[in-house]
């Protein structure tokens, strides 16, 4: 380990299992003091009697690191505010926020209920916005006091948010929203010393057990391509001071592959200089489509 996070205080949401746990352990191994947040619920949102956050804290401390648990709901104002307070009260500072918490309510659109839509939007999108808001408010105060931080936010999107996924209209929309939130936050918060990026990971977690069912067996090569630990090195680097100058970017991370996503860019264009008629607008649109790149296929299509 290089210790690239020595002295930093890192908050990771949804860190009791899967990707969040891997991130928390990886940050601690690189010298960070970690606030491990997990509400401790099942995939369907119901209470889990076990305390996954406490178990991860125990793992970190047993390995010689420092960590504290936080069990609040980060999709509420009080839960998000208390998350940031926990870092400040425990360690006196906050350097990095990793927004990772999430769950699924998968349905085809015609079967998707309003409650299932709202629940996923709340946990993913609101659960990113509120911790980001409260962390940013702290860093703004620090900057105004003459203590501009070297702060980092790493958000968690998904390939579903970048390309769409059949049966995941709610999840895809929420994860696409996180990308837009990342871009806006990167632009708004740079004046306070904050860099904001997003990762779109592919890994084996409780949320993806069915998706990666064919790759769940123990690897014969010795490299477990779907291990969540494969994603964490990039997240740790983005959350460290070493990533200076990198902000407003989205990365895919899967197995041993890291990809910079290029997102929406203006492609072929035509300007008449006046209002189009419907027919000629259609003819022009077809011509421009012929000159443009084909979009990637929706997952599951």
Strand runs (DSSP E) across the chain, as ranges?
9-12, 33-37, 66-70, 96-98, 151-156, 194-202, 250-254, 257-261
Q: What is the pLDDT of residues 181-222, one digit of tens each?
A: 999 999 999 999 999 999 999 988 655 544 444 444 455 567
Which residue of the set 82, 157, 158, 232 is catalytic?
158
Kindly state whether residues 298 and 220 are assigned to the same domain. no
Considering the candidates 82, 171, 172, 243, report the single residue annotated as catalytic.
Answer: 171
Examine the domain organization and report whether 96 and 181 are in the same domain: yes
Cα(119)–Cα(122) distance, rounded to whole angstroms? 5
**Would 181 be classed as within a structural domain?**
yes
Q: Are residues 206 and 225 in the same domain?
A: yes
Compute CA distances 124 → 21, 181, 262, whole Å.
17, 12, 22
Do 45 and 64 have their domain in common? yes
Q: Which of 91, 126, 172, 175 is catalytic?
A: 175
Please state the domain count of the chain: 2
- Specify whether 158 is catalytic: yes
- 214 part of a folded domain: yes
The answer for residues whose C-beta is within 8 angstroms of residue 178's C-beta and 6 or more apart is 99, 124, 125, 128, 155, 156, 157, 161, 198
On whether both 167 and 280 belong to a single domain, the answer is: no
Q: For residue 104, what pLDDT band results from cuts at 50, 70 and 90?
A: confident
1 domain residue, yes or no:
no
- What is the residue-averaged pLDDT of the chain? 91
Residue 61 lies in a domain: yes
Q: Are residues 131 and 275 in the same domain?
A: no
Across the range 99-119, mean pLDDT stands at 94
* pTM, rounded to two decimals: 0.91
Strand partners, 21: none
Residues 206 and 177 in one domain: yes
Which residues does 3 contact at the CB level (< 8 Å), separation at least 6? 30, 31
CATH number at 52 reads 3.40.50.720
Q: Is residue 280 part of a domain?
A: yes
Percent of the chain at pLDDT above 90? 83
Q: Answer yes or no: 175 catalytic.
A: yes
Residue 40 has a pLDDT of 78
At which residue do the structure tokens 């999840």 appear? 171
Clarify whether residues 148 and 239 are in a common domain: yes
Q: Is residue 120 part of a domain?
A: yes
Q: Are residues 299 and 201 part of one domain?
A: no
Please write the tens of the pLDDT for every residue from 148-168.
Answer: 999 999 999 999 999 999 999
Compute the C-alpha angle 230/29/69, nearest 5°: 100
In a domain, 2, yes or no: no
226: confidence class by pLDDT, cuts 50, 70, 90 = confident
Q: Is a pLDDT exceeding 90 seen at residue 177? A: yes
Q: Do 92 and 130 sit in the same domain of this protein?
A: yes
Q: Is the dihedral of CA 195, 196, 200, 206 positive or negative?
A: positive
User: Do 149 and 276 sit in the same domain of this protein?
Assistant: no
* pLDDT score for 44: 53
91 is in which domain, residue-wise? 9-261
Same domain (yes/no): 92, 156: yes
């Amino acid at each position: 380990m290089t210790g690239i996070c020595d002295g930093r205080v890192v908050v990771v949401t949804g860190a009791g299992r899967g990707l969040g746990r891997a991130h928390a352990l990886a940050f601690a191994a690189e010298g960070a003091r970690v606030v491990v947040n997990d509400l401790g619920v099942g995939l369907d949102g119901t209470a889990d009697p076990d305390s996954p956050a406490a178990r991860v804290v125990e793992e970190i401390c047993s390995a010689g690191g420092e960590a504290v648990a936080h069990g609040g709901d980060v999709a509420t104002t009080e839960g998000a505010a208390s998350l940031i307070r926990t870092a400040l009260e425990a360690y006196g500072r906050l350097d990095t926020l990793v927004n990772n918490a999430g769950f699924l309510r998968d349905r085809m659109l015609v079967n998707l209920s309003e409650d299932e839509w709202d629940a996923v939007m709340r946990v993913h999108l609101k659960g990113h916005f509120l911790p980001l808001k409260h962390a940013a408010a702290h860093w703004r105060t620090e900057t105004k006091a003459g203590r501009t931080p070297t702060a980092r936010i790493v958000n968690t999107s998904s390939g579903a948010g970048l390309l769409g996924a059949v049966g995941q209209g709610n999840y895809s929309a929420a994860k696409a929203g996180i990308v837009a939130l990342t871009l806006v936050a990167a632009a708004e918060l740079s004046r306070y010393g904050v860099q904001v990026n997003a990762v779109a990971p592919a890994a084996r977690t409780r949320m993806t057990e069915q998706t990666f069912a064919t790759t769940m067996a123990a690897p014969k090569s010795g490299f477990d391509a779907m291990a969540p630990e494969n994603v964490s090195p990039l997240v740790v680097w983005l959350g460290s001071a070493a990533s200076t100058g990198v902000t407003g970017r989205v990365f895919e991370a899967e197995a041993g592959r890291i990809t910079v996503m290029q997102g929406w860019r203006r492609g072929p264009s035509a300007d008449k200089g006046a209002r189009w008629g419907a027919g000629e607008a259609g003819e022009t649109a077809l011509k421009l489509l012929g000159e443009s790149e084909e979009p990637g296929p929706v997952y599951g299509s």
